[in-house]
Amino acid sequence: MKLDGAALWQRVKHFFDFSAKRREIYQKWDQLAENGDKEARYKLLMLYREESEEYYPLSFKWTIAVANEGEDCGVMLQAAEMYEAGYGAPRNEEKALLWFERALSLHILQGKNSPLSLEASNYIQQRIQEIRGKLSEEPR
């Protein structure tokens, strides 16, 4: 399918209009989240998995806010992964380790009520061991 100049311009214009609308939606969600809307907070913290790196800082902001509430070990796990990979914040293995440990502790406390699977629990334990090993090898 070959596009003429006008059709190509319309597609480019539509793309940028859509991006602007998306930014506007995320700004509205951010305002709602600032005012305590839990649904908006969860929508925003999932942006790093769904959107481009442009939105990682916004996602990180709300991931940490929800993780600090101490009620969701899945969000704590996400905070750990974001710190470990440097998504939305500078890479920080010490903080990643802290969040992996918090996620595992809450998972254990919640028992059968935990939203995390056995595989997730095993993954967290593996990450804790690997990061502890790496940090103990590094000169301080």
CA distances from residue 70 to 43, 48, 67, 77 in whole angstroms, order as listed: 18, 20, 6, 11
pLDDT at 51: 85
Topology (CATH level 3) of domain 5-137: 1.25.40
* pTM > 0.85: no
pLDDT at 16: 54
Q: Average model confidence (pLDDT) for the chain?
A: 89
pLDDT at 18: 64
CA distances from residue 37 to 14, 44, 61, 73, 131 in whole angstroms, order as listed: 31, 11, 14, 19, 34
pLDDT at 39: 95
CB neighbour class for 29 (10 Å; exposed up to 12, middle 13-18, buried from 19): buried
pLDDT at 113: 94
pLDDT at 64: 97
pLDDT at 118: 94
pLDDT at 7: 65
Rounded to whole angstroms, how far apart are CA atoms 85 and 126? 16
pLDDT at 20: 81
Listed by start position, the domains of the chain span: 5-137
Model pLDDT for residues 32-74, shown as the tens digit of each residue: 999 999 999 999 999 878 888 889 999 999 999 999 999 999 9
pLDDT at 15: 53
